[in-house]
Amino acid sequence: MSGSIAIAAARALPTVKPIIDIHVHTAGLGAHGSGCFVAPVLRDSYKFSWYLRAFGVSREELQRVGDALVFERIAERVAASTSVQQAVVLAMDGVVGNDGALDRARTQVYVPNDFVQQQTDRYENLLFGASVNPYRHDAVARLHEAKSAGAVLVKWIPAIMAIDPADPRIIPFYESLVELDLPLLVHVGQERSFSAARDELGDPVRLTLPLDIGVIVIAAHIATTGKNHGEGNFERLLPLFARYANLYTEISSLTQINKLGYLYDALAVPGLSQRMLYGSDWPLQFFPLVSPWYQIGRIGIGEIRKVSRLKNPWDRDVALKRAMG
């Protein structure tokens, strides 16, 4: 599947299948040679325990069966969904040092491309989302390898990967993304899912460099939450849609209590809904931050109850977002 086809297939909330969720995370402990790791400060926090509960696994199960168990659980839940047909499961590269190699000491979460590619290949309803830090000495070669292995997009979280999207040194990387027709799904706005983040790297205005080069950029979460240069990130992102036809966004995490109102505001912007793709940011919709009851006053009680009764997390997420507009 090419990047442009993946974009078309992930259009936000068509009335029937297929919906492709372009924003699904995985993680692991390195069990059975997966190559994954989580930094101790995050692994020992309440957040990681919640993530494992959402994935439907325990630390003991991962050590016994292997990190591949997370993919099995995701595939089972997507298969049980009446709304979502496929999910893009995302690798996560780490921080890269001045030597162009992975800096494990500064990396909070690492999920290697080859592990994600191997596991997604086992399931028809899972797709491979690659992650390559552009500061790697072999970053362009890694992009080509990911494309050859079936990657449908590339994922960055600049605030935790120490990537400056406006850095001219990574222009060759952007040119390769264009050549390979690989969209760049990039976190913009404030980052609070990890133990530390450089939020200035999530400034949407930093995306103008790849956009000028012609990269298909998907600005995750519509840049909700946080400010840069005294202006809200959401407000900093909106003018870019008029300037760049290659700019898209996605609606993952917009049901969280700390993001109330942003989806409604975005839907009120003429034409913006045509640039919105569907994403869940799984496993975050498992957290107490998400409940249809937080939308009371915006959607009816009957609709809230209907959504609350849905057992499948993807069906619940889709139904709630549909109810929100």
| pLDDT tens digits, one per residue of 256-286 | 888 888 888 888 999 999 999 999 999 987 7
pLDDT(303) > 50: yes
CATH code for the domain defined by 3-318: 3.20.20.140
Question: Per-domain residue ranges for the chain?
Answer: 3-318
Express each pLDDT in 194-236 by its tens digit.
777 789 999 999 999 999 999 999 999 999 888 999 999 999 9
CA atoms within 13 A on the CB side of 261: 3
Asked whether the beta carbons of 219 and 233 are under 8 A apart, the reply is no
Angle of CA points 211, 212, 215, to nearest 5°: 40
- Kindly provide the residue ranges of all beta strands, DSSP E only, lying in the chain, ordered along the sequence: 20-25, 37-38, 86-90, 109-110, 126-130, 153-156, 184-187, 217-220, 227-228, 231-232, 247-250, 276-277
* pTM (two decimals): 0.93
Task: Provide the token pair at 135.
Answer: 């500061």
